[in-house]
A and B are shown apart, each in its own frame.
Chain A
């Protein structure tokens, strides 16, 4: 498990609009990479292009290469559905399926694809995923209750459990803590620390302290102005980025002087 990603010269378009331009970045396996930058700079768009989720929006397309283990995600014969099975995703707002129970939500990746499983196997997946997501002790007595009855932080951890139940190689997180209180946030940050031994994690965050706390590598995105494409300004070791960034814009952003 856990694979590295190599992005080279990626342009992302919505229709004719160039949203993100010329991103080249290696993402190491079994590490946490954080994307920071002001709103609208294309961090989320770039993140979603890593598992071809941005294609859900009509007219979205990319130019360039995204290599995972040497395979181009955007090769003609690549099936986006298979790509997404390989690269899981957690969204900004917790989104458990309202028609499913907690256990069914965890198994959603298998159930929705009509994968046949023995009950024992299913129970094992539920327990293992919920344990990894740090939610098992809170919900083990009510696995058959609706997932939407949990608190926001619990729902988000349920979504993480759901994403890791299918055992992806990479886990993308799009501002997973922005809708959560500080306690839930710290639980999820601890969780990210544990998960990175098994998964390659890419996280978008607006919270600089969070990037500094959880990530090994940080990438700073910025845009020249409204209507201009977002660009990757620089990336590097998180401690280096936060102590001694090369670009003055990065330093200004990290110190809170703009954005």
Chain B
């Protein structure tokens, strides 16, 4: 690809060694031009009137590059171009659902957003009007409670694993069980919370805090794992420097290790929150749904955005139109919350990481 090898240099052009370093190349315009044509065809295929089969045509156009390269440049460069093509294809396939979801949710949800949508509950609403205030508050409260349960447990577990238990058999078991916990289906977490609360409050119990317990079952392993990775990154030299100053171990952890890892820990926790805020199944089981605002986590049903969205689609009522519209609006709000959380995580890790690290 380098142009210096393509253009013969006068002093080295005659030497046999120099000529063996050169090779034939595709014309420089070919790969970008074919790529551009392929992308254009794919875009027309997706958005245009012709049909999705154009995407396949576009891919075939891009696939010409490695074949042509094999004929002209030889097998090594052809393999390079082939793998580049495969990786880019995988990337495009991954990106497609994301783009599709974003486009659909924004286009259908955006018209619904209004001040009424954010400030009204669904109490005594039939048909048009109403809003998601009750579900929004429920989601924020339940997620905050879940974070309040998960962050201390997860962080302390991670501190034990890295600072105290590293290399011991108990720590090995805890790591293994945390990994198992990561794979718990969310509905099982919901059933666990339900079974737990039935013991104390009898069958048919519905409580916001139960939802928080279910979510924290899902969130704790994520918090443990991310905090563990961040604590691992703190150089041992800093711990030793602190010990050598006569600082006890617990103060070393609180004042040296945690501040050094703070940005990473906050980022990890924020991403864990973003991961559970959209959970539907466990909240369906234990938090239920209501049309009214409920600020009390310990008393009765609480609406949440995912459950609200689910029921608005499944049981829209008559006429179904307004309810389905509200479902799209709630989905968009949830998506915005998750994106804001991800953005916040990025900002925190950007602004709070220790500056000028070696």
- Is B204 in the interface zone, CB < 8 Å from A? no
| Known interface pairs A99-B260, A148-B354; A112-B240 also in contact (CB < 8 Å) | no
- Nearest opposing residue in chain A for B358, CB measure: A148
Q: Is the CB of A98 within 8 A of B356?
A: yes
Binds B, one of A35-43, A83-91, A210-218: A83-91
A162 partner residues in chain B, CB cutoff 8 A: 241, 245
Interface hit among B213-221, B249-257, B313-321: B249-257
* Min C-beta distance of A248 to chain B, whole Å: 36
Q: Kindly list chain A residues whose C-beta atoms are within 8 Å of the C-beta of B248.
A: 81, 113
Query: Is B243 an interface residue when CB atoms closer than 8 A count as contact?
Result: yes
Contact with A along B150-190 (1 / 0, CB 8 A): 00000000000000001100000000000000000000000
Selected interface stretch from A50-58, A118-126, A235-243:
A50-58
**Complex interface: chain A residues within 8 A of B235 (CB):** 95
B247 contacts the other chain (Cβ, under 8 Å)?
yes
Chain A min CB distance to B169 (Å): 13
Number of residues in B with C-beta < 8 Å to the partner? Answer: 27
Q: How far is the CA of A166 from the CA of B166 in the complex (A)?
A: 31
Chain B binding surface SS class: helix
Task: Tell me whether A146 is interfacial, beta carbon within 8 Å.
Answer: yes
A56 to B167, alpha carbons, bound, how many Å?
Answer: 13
In this complex, the interface size class of chain A, counting residues with CB under 8 Å from chain B, is 20 to 34
Contact of A81 with B247 in the complex, beta carbons under 8 Å: yes
Question: Is B294 interfacial (CB 8 A cutoff)?
Answer: no
Q: Cβ of B237 and Cβ of A91 under 8 Å apart? A: yes
Q: Say if the beta carbon of B242 comes within 8 Å of chain A.
A: yes
- Whether B246 sits at the interface, judged by CB under 8 Å, is yes
List A residues at the B interface (Cβ < 8 Å).
51, 53, 56, 58, 81-86, 88-89, 91, 93, 95-99, 108-109, 111-114, 146, 148-149, 159, 162-163, 166
Interface residues of B (CB under 8 A from A): 166-167, 235, 237-248, 251-252, 255-256, 259-260, 262, 354-358
Q: Can you give 24 A-B contacts (C-beta < 8 A)?
A: A51-B244, A53-B243, A58-B167, A81-B247, A84-B244, A84-B245, A91-B237, A91-B241, A95-B238, A96-B241, A97-B241, A98-B238, A98-B354, A98-B357, A99-B256, A99-B260, A111-B255, A112-B252, A114-B251, A148-B354, A149-B355, A162-B241, A162-B245, A166-B246
